[in-house]
Structure 1
């Protein structure tokens, strides 16, 4: 199979998966026993006539299939509508929240990938050493511990116990930064940032370390390294060549993990009260804010699907045998 056909096939699969994901979101919300306005009548806040007007305003009185078609059209054109509870554009809610999530996750993932991969390659090259054993035990422990548990323990120790770092939020409540530099590069932000950043790095370090270690172990006895050894290359030069040949699984896994990070971000943002997309999703679910829930889940699902597609493409580019064997 040519790379072009491979790309078309994988893109088509990604498009179908996206459609299935957003359809499940729509069906799940519509199957709930009540809508966002039902409680307003019971509490006496609004009359049935006023609620009927609100339902008509948001199109909730239309047939399900009409709502679905409008929903699909709006999502894929990134027109998320207006929040039912905050009465402002959903994009104004989701946009800053997504930015805050990316600022938290991407630097943490890049740091984890670089440091843990290098450590894993060194551990694999020195099998049986104290460094390998310590690295495996430490990273396995943090990988086996749920990320919210690690976060809570860090809060107990460094915020409540020692009082070194703030416990919640992204900045001091009285701060009013202007522009991205003041928002994301101030000392106040970095103090709030350190704990969730560290919790993320610790949780995902085991994945990259073990993947890099296993890749180097597999290649250590390979013929091409024996040839380099016979040429008189030093241990570090041999390790560098083994590590270069281990990059394929690391690159593809990095793409996959970037998308999957959104699955774990919800609990992390709740623990640290981080104003990201995961926390915005939880608040929208509690308020039965359909437009915000739909937009947040759509963005998170799209990130997973797009990064899976990116991993497929990267793997196919780095290893031509993938497309040759794909039927």
Structure 2
């Protein structure tokens, strides 16, 4: 087994352990919450105590805690998420469209801002001290540090209410009833509702990629290999292209990490724009204490983040020869 294979096996083992810890924490935290998912139903008179006991037995909530944990681990790790308590639907049928809605919004936004902000960051890093560098750093840092719901509300007030250019909320018009993903996402109505949350998400992500790209080019600008290229007569843009290419690794690994975190959704963004994503659905499920729905949603989010971290570690170890895979520092 090579050194890289041992490194990969070690990272895989750590990822499996983290997954087990994450799903265990989900189980414990949900059981520590006060109340139960049936309190509202009892209070409203929709169910009596005998019916509640029957439902608790059906979901295994009347079993000892350790038996619930064993059953829970078996179902989660085999991706058998069961049925939502309050919706009486399979959990995956509830989460799948919400997850798709989140990915449709955030993946294109992340890709767009990664390309545009990284390109701009490389350019301003190469032209250090320019007005464009100062303006871009200040503006993107301001957008990144401002809570996303504040930016979202500002855009709604300006573009939806004052200028009336785009709708303020939702993913489609109230009267629209598309069938299937093609009709849902490939329509003018969807694009009309998509513009505002997409723009806010792009601006929110822009600062990190711009600063990473800018700092990478600044570090590479005085390096020996660029002096050699300059001596060979390469133009400024050709030198910038080579400096940018050699500073891409931090951007790629950060992109992998962000891609994993996208599965959580931008909860505040989804709430502000009324976007039916997985983050908004998770908030509602926690409020209703819908155990199977919360457990499945958090498990998917945690697994995505753990896989993304694993991918980032592997990218660094594989592409950067200065990164040691045996736990020691570089030579």
Measured against the shorter chain, the TM-score band is over 0.9
Cα distance between partner residues in 1 of 2:184 and 2:46: 38
SS in 2 for 1:274: coil
Unpaired segments of 5 or more residues in structure 1? none
Moved over 6 A (4+): none
Report the TM-score when normalising by structure 2: 0.96
Instruction: Write out per-residue CA displacement over residues 17-46 of structure 1, whole angstroms, 9 at most, x where no aligned residue.
Output: 111111111111111222111333344332
SS in 2 for 1:169: coil
SS in 1 for 2:303: helix
Q: Which residue of 2 aligns with 1:326?
A: 327
- Contact 1:6 1:323 (8 Å CA) reproduced: no
Cα distance between partner residues in 2 of 1:44 and 1:264: 35
- Contact 2:61 2:68 (8 Å CA) reproduced: yes
Task: For residue 55 of structure 1, report the CA deviation from its aligned partner.
Answer: 0.6
Cα distance between partner residues in 2 of 1:183 and 1:141: 34
Unpaired segments of 5 or more residues in structure 2? none
Instruction: Write out per-residue CA displacement over residues 71-115 of structure 1, whole angstroms, 9 at most, x where no aligned residue.
Output: 111111111111111111010010111111111110000000000
- Contact 1:2 1:323 (8 Å CA) reproduced: no
- Contact 2:264 2:278 (8 Å CA) reproduced: no
Cα distance between partner residues in 2 of 1:210 and 1:325: 30
Cα distance between partner residues in 1 of 2:177 and 2:43: 39
Cα distance between partner residues in 1 of 2:13 and 2:287: 34
Q: Which residue of 1 aligns with 2:231?
A: 230
Task: For residue 263 of structure 1, report the CA deviation from its aligned partner.
Answer: 5.0
Aligned-residue RMSD, C-alpha: 1.3
- Contact 2:121 2:212 (8 Å CA) reproduced: yes
Q: Which residue of 1 aligns with 2:149?
A: 148
Q: Which residue of 1 aligns with 2:315?
A: 314
Q: Which residue of 2 aligns with 1:256?
A: 257
Report the TM-score when normalising by structure 1: 0.97
Q: Which residue of 2 aligns with 1:302?
A: 303
Q: Which residue of 2 aligns with 1:22?
A: 23
- Contact 2:265 2:277 (8 Å CA) reproduced: no
- Contact 2:317 2:324 (8 Å CA) reproduced: yes
Number of aligned positions between the proteins:
327
Stretch of structure 1 that moved more, 232-241 or 180-189: 180-189
- Contact 1:121 1:216 (8 Å CA) reproduced: yes
Instruction: Write out per-residue CA displacement over residues 100-136 of structure 1, whole angstroms, 9 at most, x where no aligned residue.
Output: 1111110000000000000000000000111111111
Cα distance between partner residues in 2 of 1:114 and 1:150: 22
Q: Which residue of 2 aligns with 1:36?
A: 37
Cα distance between partner residues in 2 of 1:262 and 1:179: 21
Q: Which residue of 2 aligns with 1:70?
A: 71
Task: For residue 322 of structure 1, report the CA deviation from its aligned partner.
Answer: 2.0
Stretch of structure 1 that moved more, 124-133 or 37-46: 37-46
Task: For residue 262 of structure 1, report the CA deviation from its aligned partner.
Answer: 4.4
Q: Check 1:181–1:45 CA distance in 2 against 1; reply closer, same or farther (3 A cut).
A: closer
- Contact 1:3 1:323 (8 Å CA) reproduced: no
Instruction: Write out per-residue CA displacement over residues 241-271 of structure 1, whole angstroms, 9 at most, x where no aligned residue.
Output: 0011001111111101112334561111111
Cα distance between partner residues in 2 of 1:215 and 1:97: 36
Cα distance between partner residues in 2 of 1:82 and 1:118: 46
